[in-house]
Chain A
Amino acid sequence: MKPIVRVTLLDLRTITPYGRQALVIAVLVMAITADRPQVVLPALILLAASVTAGYPFQISEKADLETLYAVLPLTRSSLLLGHYLSALATFAVYAVLGSLEAVICAHLRHVSFSGHEFAAALALSWALFALNIAVKFPLFIRFGYSQVGMLGTTIPIALVAVIASRAHLSVPSAAWLDLLAAGGLVLFGGSIAVTVAVDPRRLRRPGLAVRY
């Protein structure tokens, strides 16, 4: 098993005890957006998936997992990449959940929800998730979760409000969707590069276990 996958499994195991909390948020979001299938997926991704992806950092501060990471046979780059991979895994789980709900809601309420609309919701969700993670993760690494926790929740809420208010707009073309998907990938990759670059600077934070 590759070290990055090991870190991802560790992250997922870290957040498992808080699964119920994440589920409550997910159910609430799904209940609120149930009448608008186009909004379900972006809302779920932004309000639930993005928050859940930050849990490993939150729990790490609480349980001093930085020391555990420093003791385990594990490079910093594997750790950082593993965090991103676990964020992707979180996105995948919520995307499946949200997609199912969107399709079911559209069917039950006899609302039109075409394949193209679904693709648009998915692409938009991915791009917004990537933007969210791209901003938050380097900050979490550099300053710690507790320093940027508010930022981590206000960005998704602001974004979902914008999406909800503009949900009546026409669905973007296939070219735009491709651009959104590619843009998400670029953001994700760029964020990894930034995180790797800022990681050594967290050495300056007092009281933190570090490997160098």
Chain B
Amino acid sequence: MDSDLAFSLRGVGATAGSFQLRDVSLSLPVGYVMGFVGANGAGKTTTIRCLLGMQQIQRGEIEVLGHRVPGPVALRQDVGVVLDHDYVVGDWRLSEVERAVRPFYDHWDGRRYRELLEEFGLDMRAKVGDLSRGMNVKLMIALALSHQARLLVFDEPTSGLDPVARDELIGILGDFLLDEGHSVLFSTHITTDLERIGDYLTLIHAGRIVFTGTKEEVLDAYRVVRGGPDDLTDTVGVELIGLRRTATGVEAMVPAADAELLGSRVVVERPTLEEIVVRIGSKAGTKTGAKTGPNSRPVAEHADTGPTRSRGRRPAMAWRNK
């Protein structure tokens, strides 16, 4: 067990209905934020459920805050959770929600709960069932942040939030991370959030980890190439990810190391995180027309050991500038 890690999954395999997670390995050092990105159905929620002990795994092992999962019940004291749906009684008022969950937590901070609700513009007298999707997300975030958790696990927390609320959430997470013992796993479709807050990024596609590493490593791992309609037709040995060919031009993403193999006729650019997610998400349905060479392995195949465990400065600290 490694106490320097907020969590780790090693070779995890799990089945959820017809969906399968295959050989999922990722880890996050204590004190950092990991963005977990992938298209709908890629396996983000299943991975998170495995991490939380809500989904039985068939292979591999999982550790959270130094404890093997399934771990002691007390471990739940240290994990704040926001899932992609709410799970409290719709007829409860927000004050009753607090009264319902408070007895279970040794370090429940009622003042923090009320402060967060106020910050989010939620009335303690409001009923859960009367809240909008975005307000429900805020309520769940307030619950997760009110029992002095050391690890926050958020599954699509910003999907129902307007830009102002998302900004507030990023700020609140920034405050949470001021304590170096705090860590966050944050799954989302909204990549701009991750560009602000993510230290590490993990990309998942079709139940497999495509990439896991620091944000800079992810951004450095790929290049977007653009050319005329006749370019990228004979790219032997280069994997073209998310190839799009039209009458006026062609564009694709390639592993960064392969970009120079494409010659000088194409324009090579560093992709945005969104471009990486979109192109990898569409990878399965894309015909690359290229053979796979020794230098064009999918990044996941040589990136399954998790991020480096350097305890130095956070790799990305944009949120601190808030």
Contacts and interface: CB of A to CB of B under 8 A. Distances in A.
A206 B17 contact: yes
Interface stretch (A32-40, A63-71, A114-122, A164-172): A63-71
B88 A68 contact: yes
Given A6-B104, A73-B77, A73-B105, A63 B54 contact: no
B70 interface: yes
B153 to A, nearest CB: 10
Contacts of A68: 87-88, 101
B164 interface: no
Nearest to A73: B76
B92 interface: yes
A146 interface: no
Interface in B50-104: 52-56, 70, 73-77, 81, 83, 85-92, 96, 99-101, 103-104
A74 B77 CA distance: 10
Interface in B84-128: 85-92, 96, 99-101, 103-105
Main secondary structure of the interface of B (DSSP, over half): loop
Given A17-B91, A211-B54, A64 B76 contact: no
B104 A73 contact: yes
Contacts of B73: 73-75
A13 interface: yes
Nearest to A10: B100
A25 interface: no
Interface in A1-51: 1, 3, 6, 9-10, 13-14, 16-18
Interface of A: 1, 3, 6, 9-10, 13-14, 16-18, 59, 62-68, 70-75, 203, 206, 209-212
A9 B76 contact: no
Contacts of A17: 89, 91-92
Given A10-B100, A62-B90, 7 more contacts: A6-B104, A10-B103, A13-B99, A68-B101, A73-B105, A74-B73, A212-B56
B54 A9 contact: no
A71 B149 CA distance: 12
A211 B70 contact: yes
Contact of A72 (B76, B83, B90, B92): B76
A210 B56 contact: yes
B54 A209 contact: yes
A96 B53 CA distance: 42
B76 A71 contact: yes
Residue of A18, A64, A75 most packed against chain B (CB within 10 A): A64
B104 A65 contact: no
A62 B83 CA distance: 17
B91 A67 contact: no
A17 B89 CA distance: 9
Contact of B54 (A14, A16, A210): A210
A39 to B, nearest CB: 33
